[in-house]
Each structure stands twice: as structure tokens, then as C-alpha cells.
Amino acid sequence: MLAYVFWHLRRANVRAPEYEAALRVFHESLWATPVPGLLGLCSHRLPQVPWLVPGQGGYEDWHLLESSAVLDVLNEAAVTRARLAVHDRVAGMAANGTAGLYGLRMGARIEPAFAYWMSKSAGMSYAAFDESLKPFIAKGCCLWSRRMTLGPTPEFCLHAPAAVSLPHEALTLKLERLHSLGGTT
């Protein structure tokens, strides 16, 4: 399973409730007419999005995909004639955005309350890194990894249902779910 993750900020003159409502309408329009291979959509409010503007809050949308082939389909579906107006409305309210592609590395997708963004230590093997996180996977967490350096974040994201203490240095983000359609994460 893959996830196309999009981080975005609203314009300073746009109120959060208005932006979040427009975002929901756009996501509901994507979900209402099925996009082949799109398994779910989820949007979170974040206290900060350091890879956009350090210290400023923003948003994170997870688009769960069957495969990378769905990226082209999703890209086209987002701006088809039926969705163009709702897409353009929320896009016009956005100040900035960036995205990445992630694969589910360990565990099953969950509804996370926390995201821990981290890299493995220099010299540490991927096998040792995975082994160090297996106890968290056994407790209901899941691990996502960036694909082909497509994204601005550290290489890994551990989604957790509650706060955890990791054996690795990580950027911790408390997630506030706005909406979810079809799947979790």
C-alpha cells in the first residue's frame, strides 16, 4: 500500500473553518465518484509543518493508494470538469503546499493520534532499524517509509494511536483528525 501525502497551509486571510469546509467538500467530491485504486482519504490539522514554514500550523492529507499507477489517475480526477470548481476553491485558499510518496513498511494502517517523523541513525542497517520498532508495531503502531526520496520529510513516519517513547530521535506531531473517507490514516 502507498500513500500520497500532501501538506498545505491556508492563506492568512482565510479562516480555518472556511478552509477546512472547502477541503472536506473537495475530498467528498473525490470520494463520491470513485477513483479506481484510491482506497481512502484522511485529513489532519497539524500544530506545525516544519518542512513548509517552521512553527506554523497546517494540514496533512493522506490519500491511500493501491499502487503508484493510481497517482496519474488521482491527479487527473482531482481536476476533472466535475471537480474543478471545488478543487480551485480550496486551492485558491491555500498559501503553500508540498507532497511526498510513502509506502506502508510495517504493521496495518491505523487511525493515528501521533506521527513520529524520524531517520535511522547513520551506520544502522534497515534490518536493525525495523527490529527496533517491532515492539511498537506489536502494540498497534504502523511504519511508513518515504519512496525514492519523494518528499520533504525524514525517511520514516511511525503512526501511533497514543503517545510513545521511541528509541530514535523523532519529530513528534499530535494529529487532529478533520475527516476520513473510506480508510484510516
Q: For residue 22, give the CATH number of its domain.
A: 3.30.70.100
pLDDT confidence band for 185 (50 / 70 / 90): low
Say which range, 31-40, 91-100, 104-113, has the weakest mean pLDDT.
31-40
pLDDT at 121: 93
pLDDT at 82: 84
- Tell the burial category of 138 from Cβ atoms under 10 Å away from its Cβ (0-12, 13-18, 19+): exposed
**For the chain, what percent of residues have pLDDT higher than 90?**
92
Q: In sequence order, what are the beta bridge partners of 49?
A: 53
| Overall number of domains in the chain | 1
pLDDT confidence band for 81 (50 / 70 / 90): confident
User: What confidence tens digit (pLDDT) does each residue in 21-79 have?
Assistant: 999 999 999 999 888 999 999 999 999 999 999 889 999 999 999 999 999 999 999 99
Residue 72: partners with Cβ closer than 8 Å, 6 or more residues away:
none
Positive or negative CA dihedral for 125, 143, 55, 50? Answer: positive
Full residue range of the structural domain in which residue 58 is found: 2-181
Q: Please state, in angstroms and as integers, the Cα–Cα distance from residue 78 to each residue in 28, 75, 152, following that order.
A: 11, 5, 22
The pTM (predicted TM-score) of the whole model is 0.94
Whether the pLDDT of residue 180 is over 70: the answer is: yes
Which letter does DSSP use for residue 33 in this model?
S
Whether the pLDDT of residue 83 is over 60: the answer is: yes
